[in-house]
């Protein structure tokens, strides 16, 4: 399997990990079903086995996905993907189908593996550029992880832990989990705002990151705190701006709390997330090669002062709250099972 964050490495990961394990997943679920009958299955869109089991055994199945339309992809990009990546996905899918005795499919892309009964999509139609996102199969549920992110002790709290409690802007910067590459996002933002009164929390830096103190004053009277992990639901209740490498889960968390997003995209799907943020008007994007200290500083300041931006984000926040999250997803799954 190829290493790295490029396209060929991504395809290799999908071939060997996601599609390559599908036959084994199918066998395991079928064995489970023979001893403990399964009423329904809900699986991440990259978990291929449940879809194959649904075809083989007739068990109701729901797919859970980040984006049903391809984040930030216009018509040209979609066409290019259909001729390249999506054809590769179909080949991987058909290989897995053959291993479990199913006929090939003509459907392109990862979407060809999704349920034709129920698709639970994170986010809301506005982020996808859709007028409506509800249908017989597709349902947007907003931020499914809201309220479930507090899995450990909170290492950063704007009301304690080294950050002064005042009314200066609170900026949360995340280095991300996947597709981080070597771009020093946290360091660049701190340098860009060194002369400001902003309170900055940089997460994703183990032990404060290369000897940096856990909390330190900035030259402009603000403060900086470096942490390995932060409770983002807690942080976004207080934050004024989120600076991200483009991890979609964190972007949804920010928007669900009404926080605008600046994306300096890393690798993998991050450029598509950045395009989605810009297209929907809920934030800005700066490509890494243009993300100078001056450019980041100017963009952050303009975003903090942009009432129009905040108004758009508030509309998306209300839309995400109305989508219902995990509770709504559970209702839809139960309803789908009742129809089977």
Digit-coded pLDDT (tens) for 110-137: 888 999 999 999 999 888 877 665 567 8
Express each pLDDT in 191-208 by its tens digit: 999 999 999 999 876 444
Of the listed ranges 71-80, 113-122, 159-168, 244-253, the least confidently predicted one is: 71-80
Express each pLDDT in 93-116 by its tens digit: 999 999 999 999 999 888 889 999
Report the sign of the C-alpha dihedral through residues 119, 125, 128, 130, in that order: positive
- For residues 110 and 88, is the Cβ–Cβ distance under 8 A? no
Q: Packing angle between helix 248-256 and helix 270-280, nearest 10 degrees?
A: 30
Taking 80 as the threshold, does the pLDDT of residue 172 lie above it? yes
Is the domain defined by 7-142+324-339 classed in CATH 3.40.50.720? no
Q: What is the pLDDT of residue 9?
A: 76
Is the backbone of residue 157 left (phi > 0), alpha (psi -120 to 50) or beta? beta
Residue ranges of domains in the chain: 7-142+324-339, 170-322
- For residues 230 and 218, is the Cβ–Cβ distance under 8 A? no
Question: Which residues does 102 contact at the CB level (< 8 Å), separation at least 6?
Answer: 52, 55, 56
Q: What is the pLDDT of residue 164?
A: 53
Q: What is the pLDDT of residue 338?
A: 85
Fold match, 7-142+324-339 / 170-322? yes
CATH of domain 170-322: 3.40.50.2000
Residue from 194, 259, 151 nearest 186 by CA = 194
């Amino acid at each position: 399997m190829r290493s790295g964050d490029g396209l060929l490495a991504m395809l290799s990961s999908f071939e060997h990990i996601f599609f390559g394990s599908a036959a084994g997943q199918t066998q395991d679920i079928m064995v489970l079903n023979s001893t403990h009958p399964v009423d329904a299955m809900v699986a991440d869109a990259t978990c291929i086995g449940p879809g194959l089991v649904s075809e083989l055994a007739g068990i109701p199945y729901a797919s859970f996905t980040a984006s049903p339309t391809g984040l930030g992809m216009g018509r040209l990009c979609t066409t290019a993907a259909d001729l390249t990546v999506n054809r590769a996905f179909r080949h991987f899918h058909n290989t897995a189908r053959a291993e479990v005795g199913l006929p090939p499919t003509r459907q392109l892309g990862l979407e060809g593996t999704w349920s034709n009964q129920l698709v639970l999509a994170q986010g809301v139609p506005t982020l996808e550029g859709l007028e409506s996102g509800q249908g017989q199969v597709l349902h947007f549920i907003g931020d499914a992880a809201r309220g479930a992110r507090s899995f450990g002790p909170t290492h950063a709290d704007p009301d304690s832990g080294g950050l002064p409690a005042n009314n200066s802007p609170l900026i949360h910067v995340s280095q991300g989990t996947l597709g981080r590459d070597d771009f020093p996002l946290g360091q660049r933002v701190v340098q860009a705002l060194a002369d400001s009164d902003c309170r900055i929390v940089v997460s994703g830096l183990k032990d404060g990151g290369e000897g940096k103190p856990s909390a330190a004053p900035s030259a402009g009277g603000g403060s900086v705190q470096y942490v390995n992990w932060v409770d983002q639901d807690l942080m976004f209740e207080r934050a004024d701006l989120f600076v991200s490498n483009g991890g979609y889960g964190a972007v949804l968390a920010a928007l669900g709390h009404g926080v605008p997003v600046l994306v300096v995209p890393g690798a993998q799907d991050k450029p598509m997330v950045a395009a989605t943020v810009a297209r929907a008007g809920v934030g800005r994007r700066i490509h890494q090669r243009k993300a100078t200290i001056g450019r980041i500083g100017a963009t952050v300041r303009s975003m903090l002062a942009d009432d129009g931006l905040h108004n758009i984000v508030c509309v998306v926040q209300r839309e995400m709250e109305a989508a219902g999250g995990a509770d709504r997803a559970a209702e839809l799954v139960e309803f789908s099972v009742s129809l089977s």
